[in-house]
Structure 1
């Protein structure tokens, strides 16, 4: 949206015109300018057809990666550019890097180089210890994008102002520098605490006292814990809760929020209305409710950089919310919103914005949902997906473990084939065993599968059982754990989402059945350790069965290791 000239001048840093000229041929202009060279018809057709030239390369400290470029393409995949960041913006980062470890500095510099290609980036493994430094690098890339965009607008405003005074009948025509609406960065996050982390990363690049953070107190109040509240995760003795659980759930974990952030020359303005902001920080649920209320999502029409963090946590919420929001990005607007159409880049008018949007995805591990989402993106500059070679996870020695394969030829058939094998073969074999028909936990990763298994137990199994799901109240949880531990319930059905949110230790387990391998590999280790919470339990007293098909590859490799996982899939 074309903002008033006076307002824009106030928003752009000093020296903007000189730097805009100096950087007129930079990576931003080559990808997001009015006539980007990468946006060819053949590249668009190739991206639509998912016809990519695929190479495998090592990207410095980011490790091995699969790089996909539209075919045919002259784009090079052999080297990365230097970070394409305005010098003024790098000063705060360099000051912090001077006090950081060489490993952290290298990671941030390599990440900035990769992001400067304007290709999509899918980080499939984000360790706890690197998440803060990764956020800082990505935010710097986003700020660089906003600054270059606004400087281009300022330069063209200046040209138009001079021309209107000297040659009012001969105004420049090459001033297409904007989208339909102002917001150009969308950051999707699972919790308010996540938004606070990204806020801290954002303000780390805005040195005080040069910058002011407007509405900071309100933000910290609404996105932090209430005054006087004690966070039991951070106040507990170290080791009481797993480190990943503390990192995910400390602070305010409300999942319904949305906030606009406006960047000006001297301030960061929180709680800016969407059509006047540069960055939208939101949860998928918060945005969905906003879109459904307003009946459109015009503020998402001109998103040029999409960032989705903690995708593993988002899959434990409602993934449909993510798909709903993304289905509304880069669509033609329903209303004009006072847009100056003479300033809109031609590729927006042509409906080609999805081919240029850069998507940055971060997750602790891959799932079929996150991989499928990545595969839908059509960035004509290409896509980068990092890879990780997994080692087998540690489990208590001596436990009788068995992988139970069932035949399945397509992922669409997997839920039905899995349920059929479980109800006709695996469960009957458990019920025939005096040992395995009691003290048995059935761990179900998918919520849909959990409901299906629960209904089967309720109607057909004919055994005593209880459940622990994400919808269980504290009273339900206490009653279920007690019944299972005392043996009044022979089976305990547990959903992965329950364990993700609660992380309770379960006593009384002697037999474990994983309806499918868990998404979180550490959950496998944890549940195999729980039998030993009871006195006198030997490894030989514990059994573990894992029901799996070849479509469980992503989960299996995180448990048994990449090499062993490949062998298992080949033999399936």
Structure 2
């Protein structure tokens, strides 16, 4: 039976309204409710202007007088009033320019008009807009003057390349389109983070300024016209206050984003509250030494240091409240502007509270280090942002409770259930994965469009002379891919290896997927004639030591290695006699090494391209090993395009997919 979506939304809103009225001791009648026209609740001061409670940790708390705040905002930002038609007002105002029935229908049908364009320092990008819509002119950077001036001053001290990158990024963000940066180099991460943080702070500031100005208008109107009807064009809020969500893999990343956000709210103009508590809880414990950060350059791979430096706890969530002159960390979720959390931390919060109402009005979603999140439990990410049957599971849903919301101040498109069509999503990753691309293709519904950058990959360097054999298997449907891969591995590739006296020993099997790893391990367990040992992300230090020793001494013929194990442990070669071609790719780590490998089987191409080079470098830990002594087999299908491209290069990967041959 078909469901009338509009009626469903109206019914849910009626329920919310009745709950709100009941709490106040007065229930609204259903026939009194007309979302876009009638007054839905008695007007009250907007949440943005409520005084702060006293601080509980001996750090001073800033309280802000409502009328004074509105007056100061009007005076300080008077120069920005001429920019009322800026990107924020056009996209998130009362009447969003891109929100139409035709645009929503196109998004629902997943029909987009795509074209290739040059996005400055962001490189080549694919622009997708709803079918029938027109590509708007390149937007200007619409940052408020009070934020833009100090930012430009700091920018002037940066290299020209970074300035151009930040400006091009801010220009793309000012369009309010979704943005997916599919390849973020290490050297540009900080600059990228600063620009996106500025965009987020600008969004919160503009939203707060609009609320404060409307508060002032309502107060003046009520004073001048005591018996007149209240103003009707003051809808400026969502169901709840949080409007920016930052999803991050580790606390160390949260600390980096905190630094980026507060760089745009510097003292003495801004007071940062609970700063000591935040840096204590999100940094390393007192006396702890960060071996990655303290090590000499070259000791660890740069990407490993960037990912795992500092506090790598992956269970956290924190609210950030931003007033005109203060930034408060650890604000209560329903009273904050920015939520910074890991997928695991947010999932546990949702399960504990049994609702996610604080995500109902998210207007800017930022997901950083998608590649690192994919090495965690991707299901946590899916619970928060991946749709079921193309409908987002928790973001921009109607809240279960009213939370004392003033319905007369809610923007009409929230009441119409259209918030998901306006949310701006920003994805950052070191490389693309099928999961992230699927997320981009199906979960983003922004009617303003979406922009995805592209990268042309060159072949990764490996020691010359190694026998590389890319083994193709046919697969017609994505859902059958895992079974087809396992079948080909166990019935064709592995039997051929076991028939060879040389390749049936000293063989490492590298498995990217954790689910596939368990499946392969179980197969080896059932075949008693094959001796093997395991290195997985769950292996203890004692397990690792025993496995490495047994494999090196020849007691075990096969060594199963999961990609997550290598991602977290990053065992590296230690000999200075590595082939010179590896000198720019392989770093030295004196503590860990895996020796005894002569043959490497990739159950699938690794997500991280550098892992391919690193695994093929292990054999050279042993004396007297020549490149011709090492064999490499890579099992792949057409669905391994992203991984294959990063290893073999864009052109070669295309040939491998089309012809199935090297």
Note whether the superposition's TM-score is higher than 0.5: yes
Question: Which residue of 258, 273, 289 corresponds with 2:317?
Answer: 258
Look up the match of 1:400: 467
- Say yes or no: does 1:567 pair with 2:655: yes
CA gap 1:461/1:444 in 2 versus in 1, 3 angstroms: farther
The offset of 1:6, in angstroms, is 5.3
Question: C-alpha separation between the residues in 2 aligned to 1:297 and 1:22?
Answer: 37
Q: CA deviation at 1:81?
A: 1.5
1:277-319 CA-to-partner distances (Å, cap 9, x unmatched) read 0000000000000000000011100000000000000000011
**Aligned equivalent of 1:219, options 278, 281, 296:** 278
**Superposed counterparts of 1:380-459, under 5 Å:** 380-459=447-526
1:148-159 to structure 2, matched below 5 A, reads 148-159=206-217
Structure 1 position 536 matched with structure 2 position 624:
yes
**Partner in structure 2 of residue 328 of structure 1:** 394
Residues 422-452 of structure 1: per-residue CA shift (max 9 Å, x gap)? 0000111111100000000000000000000
- Per-residue Cα deviation, 1:254-281 (whole angstroms, up to 9, x for no partner): 0000000011111111000001100000
Q: What CA deviation, in whole Å up to 9, does each residue of 1:24-71 have, x standing for no partner?
A: 211111100111121000000101111111000110000000000001
Equivalent pair of 2:510/2:602 in contact (CA under 8 Å): yes
Which residue in 2 is equivalent to 1:521? 609
SS at match of 1:437: coil
Alpha carbons 2:242, 2:337 under 8 Å: kept: yes
Match of 2:237 in 1: 178
The corresponding residue for 2:266 is 207
> Aligned match of 1:21 in 54, 72, 81?
81
Q: Identify the residue that residue 131 of structure 1 maps to in structure 2.
A: 189
Contact 1:17 1:155 in 2 (8 A): no
Deviation for aligned residue 1:138:
0.2
Q: Does 1:104 align with 2:170?
A: no
CA contact (8 A) 1:16 1:151 kept: no
Q: Does 1:509 align with 2:594?
A: no
Greater shift, 96-105 or 9-18, is seen at 9-18
Structure 2: which 5+ runs fail to align? 1-44, 52-65, 386-392, 572-592
2:179 corresponds to which residue? 121
State the 1:172 CA deviation.
1.1
Against the structure 1 CA distance between its residues 9 and 366, is the aligned structure 2 distance closer, same or farther, given a 3 Å change threshold? farther
User: What is the deviation of 1:160?
Assistant: 0.8
In structure 2, the partner of 1:88 is 146
- Partners of 2:69 and 2:212 within 8 A in 1: no
Alignment of 1:24-39 (within 5 A): 24-39=84-99
Q: TM-score, normalised by structure 1?
A: 0.98
Give the Cα separation in 2 of the matches to 1:295 and 1:10: 39
Corresponding position: 1:187 with 2:246: yes
How many residues end up aligned between the 2 structures?
570
**Residue pair 2:77, 2:146 contacting (<8 A) in 1 also:** no
Check 1:229–1:4 CA distance in 2 against 1; reply closer, same or farther (3 A cut).
closer
8 A contact 2:80–2:145 mirrored in 1: no
User: Is 2:93 the partner of 1:41?
Assistant: no
User: 1:475 deviation in Å?
Assistant: 0.5
The structure having more radius of gyration, on CA atoms, is 2
| Residue 140 of structure 1 pairs with residue 198 of structure 2 | yes
Q: Secondary structure at the match of 1:328?
A: coil
TM-score normalised to structure 2 length? 0.85
Deviation at 1:9, TM superposition (A): 5.3
2:419 alignment partner in structure 1: 353
In 1, are the aligned partners of 2:67 and 2:216 still within 8 Å (CA)?
Answer: no
Equivalent in the alignment of 2:639: 551
The separation in 1 between residues aligned to 2:49 and 2:295, in whole angstroms, is: 53
Pairwise CA distance, 1:207? 2.3
> SS of the residue aligned with 2:142?
coil
The answer to whether the Cα contact below 8 Å between 1:92 and 1:206 also exists between their aligned partners in 2 is no
Cα pair 1:11 1:266 within 8 Å, conserved = no
Q: Distance in 1 between matches of 2:69 and 2:248?
A: 27
Q: Indicate yes or no: 2:47 matched with 1:3.
A: yes
For the 8 Å contact 2:48–2:208, the answer to whether it is kept is no
1:378 paired with 2:437, answer: no
Question: Is the aligned partner of 1:343 residue 2:402?
Answer: no
Equivalent-residue separation in structure 2 for 1:127 and 1:167 (angstroms): 59
Question: Which residue of structure 2 aligns with residue 464 of structure 1?
Answer: 531
Q: Which runs of 5+ in 1 are unaligned?
A: none
Whether the 8 Å CA contact 1:128–1:244 is kept in 2: the answer is: yes
Q: Which residue of 1 aligns with 2:334?
A: 275
Tell which deviates more after alignment, 332-341 or 24-33. Answer: 24-33
Flag the 1:517–1:245 CA change in 2: closer, same or farther, 3 A. Answer: same
What is the CA deviation profile of residues 353-408 of structure 1, one whole-angstrom value per residue up to 9, with x for unaligned ones?
11000000000000001001111211000000000000001111100000000010
CA spacing shift, 1:10–1:229, aligned 2, 3 Å: farther
The DSSP-based 3-state class of the residue aligned with 2:561 is: strand
